[in-house]
Amino acid sequence: QQQVRQSPQSLTVWEGETAILNCSYENSAFDYFPWYQQFPGEGPALLISILSVSDKKEDGRFTIFFNKREKKLSLHIADSQPGDSATYFCAANTNAYKVIFGKGTHLHVLP
């Protein structure tokens, strides 16, 4: 059973557009949602995260929108740049340290 689902699997946008990456989860006990960015050949790097008590978190061009009632969240990347091309993982956990990952969205930003 996939506890954290991501869509789309792959996304292509033009430079300057806003990329929207979606995530949903099953377990109501999840209360913390980090997003990781991974480039080929590297480990995942923490990009931005949100607690379930919030409905929005911004950090520069990256914004998380969170809907607790629907168990959905999304990562918006504004003014997308070719350097943002990477795989983005939505993850979820509780205070129990165990982090569950989605299968990722592969983002291509075309110049």
Partner 1 sequence: GALVYQYPRRTICKSGTSMRMECQAVGFQATSVAWYRQSPQKTFELIALSTVNSAIKYEQNFTQEKFPISHPNLSFSSMTVLNAYLEDRGLYLCGAGTGQAPLFGEGTRLSVL
Interface characters, 45-64, with partner 1 (x: CB under 8 A):
xx--x---------------
Binds partner 1 by CB under 8 A, chosen from 13, 61, 101, 108 = 101
> What is the Rg, in whole angstroms, of the alpha carbon atoms belonging to the chain?
13
Task: Report the alpha-carbon distance of residue 50 to residue 33 in Å, rounded.
Answer: 5
Least distance to partner 1, CB of residue 31, Å: 9
The nearer residue to partner 1, 44 or 109, going by C-beta atoms, is 44
Write the DSSP string, 36-64. EEE-TTS--EEEEEEETT-SEEEETTEEE
* Shortest Cβ 16–partner 1 spacing (Å): 27
Q: Give the range of 11-19, 20-28, 32-40, 64-72 binding partner 1 by CB under 8 A.
A: 32-40
- Check residue 79 and report its DSSP letter: S
Tell the smallest beta-carbon distance from residue 46 to partner 1 (Å).
Answer: 5
- Residue 7 touching partner 1 (CB under 8 A): no
* Local structure of 82: helix, strand or coil: helix
Binding of partner 1 at residue 104 (CB under 8 A)? yes
Calculate ∠ Cα 107-80-4, nearest 5°.
40
